[in-house]
């Protein structure tokens, strides 16, 4: 199911059930899993591994060289999991030798038009990148995180699970899990309550996260004392523990 006008390198490994659209270019060392669909005018460059049941729309550039002046042609790669949707004009770059040599995208992600994922980024599962959202290099994004339209994340930052980065926002610090941030530069606006309710979190867990947010993020004072005051919440709600552990492990500091 490869269109006659597509250009496919002999070393590419394409599952029999894949479809490759017209004028698409599949370079060497590209592997595409069962059931994946690649539209017209797409460029896939390796080493890149694309899993099962992915959809890549027209004019996307997937697996191109990293946009890093230190890159000198070293063998680096891109790994994409299963059931992802990559829309028009998306650009996703391979890793760099200095950053672990791999850009990785998990499963069930929706990457909308004009998004950019730079070198050495690590994307988990079930994320949504709205139109024009961009990651600089070495960014980690947790499960179920959402980046609204034209949101940007600074290099070496992390966005935690179930976090929300608002429209046109620039996150130049780590965004803790379950939190909502908005602005340029981004500021903390609270717990992502509506998003958590849609994903089945109960009101008690959301309230516990809100108390942890108010205690650690909003109030001034000693962090150790603040965390100690939340011991009962930590023991009862694993979400609170993940929230606090992320803040404790942050190297860049968090959005406040």
Which positions are catalytic? 119-120, 137
Question: b/e map of 220-251 (b: 16 or more CB within 10 Å)?
Answer: eeeeeebbeebeebbeebebbebbbebbeebe
**130 closest CA partner among 109, 147, 145, 155:** 147
For the chain, the straight-line distance linking the first and the last C-alpha, in angstroms and rounded, comes to 51
* Residue 2 per-residue DSSP state: B
Q: What is the DSSP letter of 67?
A: S
CA 92 to chain centre: 11
């Amino acid at each position: 199911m490869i269109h006659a006008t597509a250009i496919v390198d002999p070393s590419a490994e394409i599952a029999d059930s894949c479809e490759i659209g017209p004028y698409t270019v599949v370079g060497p060392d590209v592997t595409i899993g069962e059931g994946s669909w690649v539209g017209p005018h797409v460029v896939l460059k390796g080493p890149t591994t694309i899993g099962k049941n992915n959809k890549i729309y027209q004019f996307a550039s997937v697996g191109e060289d990293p946009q890093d002046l230190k890159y000198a042609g070293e063998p680096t790669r891109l790994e994409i999991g299963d059931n992802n949707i990559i829309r028009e004009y998306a650009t996703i770059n391979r890793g760099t030798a200095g950053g672990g040599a791999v850009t990785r995208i998990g499963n069930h992600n929706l990457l909308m038009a004009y998004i950019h994922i730079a070198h050495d980024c690590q994307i988990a599962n079930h994320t949504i990148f709205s139109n024009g959202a961009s990651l600089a290099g070495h960014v980690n994004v947790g499960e179920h995180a959402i980046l609204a339209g034209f949101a940007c994340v600074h290099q070496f930052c992390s966005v935690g699970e179930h976090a929300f980065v608002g429209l046109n926002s620039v996150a130049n610090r780590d965004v803790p899990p379950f939190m909502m941030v908005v602005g340029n530069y981004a500021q903390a606006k609270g717990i992502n309550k509506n998003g958590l309710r849609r994903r089945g979190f109960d009101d008690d867990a959301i309230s516990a996260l809100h108390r942890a947010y108010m205690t650690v993020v909003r109030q001034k004072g000693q962090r150790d004392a603040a965390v100690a005051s939340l011991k009962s919440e930590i023991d009862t709600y694993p979400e609170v523990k993940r929230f606090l552990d992320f803040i404790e492990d942050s190297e860049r500091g968090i959005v406040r």
